[in-house]
Structure 1
Amino acid sequence: MAVVMGGTEETRLIVLRGNSASGKSSVAAGLRDRFGRNLALVGQDNLRRIVLRERDRPGAANIGLIGMTARYALDAGFHTVVEGILYADRYAAMLECLVREHQGVSRCYYLDVPLHETLLRHAAKPDPACLAQVTDQHLREWYRERDLLPSGIETIVDASSTLNDTVERIMRETGLDKVPAIDR
């Protein structure tokens, strides 16, 4: 079976993984704010919980949908950020295939935030509904320490990196800081 390469040599693929409340969505939003248009955000929570209303289980449909959505965005010329908890035992094959088959620059980041910091960050969220829906007990149950992809392709970003520093680092390391945004 022939490998179908995705995106172009100019597109950037960024994968952001980490535990709940580690800052993934904030980093993704920061990248979009910093870069501008032509940056697609493929969020696990949106596709799994909103679009499919599916539980996070091995072999679930959202895994393929995340991969297809990212490929579609890359093929359409969008730089693409895939973000979510994306547990390694469930999502590694899809993510590693996506990276392997992307023609442009691909970088993967794991936001490594200890459980105690995760609990503090979650408690500081301004959304009372979120705080009521996701409890400290949920965060403890979902937490996986250093749930890295088996291929070793991730750059670890520790909890001491500020949001701005993390966004700037990713912009620089992917080359997005030197690419003009396209107003579509």
Structure 2
Amino acid sequence: MTGSPESVLVVVRGPSGAGKSSVTARLRAAYGRGLAVVGQDLLRRTVLRERDVPGGANIGLIDLVARHALDHGFHTVVEGILAAERYGPMLARLVADHRGRSFLYYLDVDFDETVRRHATRTQAAEFSPEDMADWYRPHDLLPGGLERVVGRHSGLEETVGRILADTGLAPAGWTPRP
């Protein structure tokens, strides 16, 4: 078993440019200390400098870091594209082993919207819409109905507010930014 019965596990998945990192940053800002962030991009691209390949080392590292944080009493957010085919089995095991409550969200954004959002990001020059087309998997949900789908029309503050309310992680007096 992983984590304490009081710990909360949140998974935020979706295509590139869907807003996962922005949502996670706002969750961290709202909650503060005690919330660990396990970012796929940081572990895969920065720590390991690994391509996203089947059986990649980053899959086990994401699992290990999330379990470690949960075991040490941190509420934990795992975020990334986390394609269902590659990461689904690891995420399903993590959720099954977690003794606390788990909440999984899929930011369901169509390809045109991901390209539009990507163009506004600081890393827009790092990869092109053509690169994104290779990675894009429409409605890439995990099997078993584990995820709550957040549609493209849910704004950043609305999405963050929903997750904080669902999980019970909203600090006293927290209100969404206008």
Q: Secondary structure at the match of 1:172?
A: helix
Task: Indicate the RMSD between aligned Cα atoms, in angstroms.
Answer: 1.0
The equivalent of 1:117 in structure 2 is 113
The equivalent of 2:131 in structure 1 is 138
AA aligned to 1:40 is A
Q: Secondary structure at the match of 1:108?
A: strand
> Shift in Å at residue 140 of structure 1?
1.2
Q: Secondary structure at the match of 1:176?
A: coil
The equivalent of 2:158 in structure 1 is 165
AA aligned to 2:53 is R
Unaligned runs of 5+ in 1: 180-184
Cα distance between partner residues in 2 of 1:82 and 1:133: 23
Q: Deviations over 1:81-115 (max 9, x none)?
A: 00000000100010011011111110000000011
> Shift in Å at residue 132 of structure 1?
1.8
Report percent identity of matched pairs.
56
How do residues 50-65 of structure 1 correspond to structure 2 at under 5 angstroms? 50-65=46-61
Q: Deviations over 1:116-169 (max 9, x none)?
A: 1111101122x2xx2221111111111100011012100000011010010010
The equivalent of 1:83 in structure 2 is 79
| Paired residue total | 172
> Shift in Å at residue 178 of structure 1?
5.6
The equivalent of 1:101 in structure 2 is 97
Q: Secondary structure at the match of 1:80?
A: strand
Q: Secondary structure at the match of 1:54?
A: coil
Q: Secondary structure at the match of 1:9?
A: coil
AA aligned to 2:24 is A
Cα distance between partner residues in 1 of 2:67 and 2:167: 18
AA aligned to 1:141 is D
> Shift in Å at residue 63 of structure 1?
0.3
AA aligned to 2:102 is S
The equivalent of 1:182 in structure 2 is none
The equivalent of 1:9 in structure 2 is 5
Structure 1 residue runs of 4+, over 6 Å off?
none
Q: Secondary structure at the match of 1:156?
A: strand
Cα distance between partner residues in 1 of 2:80 and 2:171: 26
AA aligned to 1:176 is L
The equivalent of 1:151 in structure 2 is 144
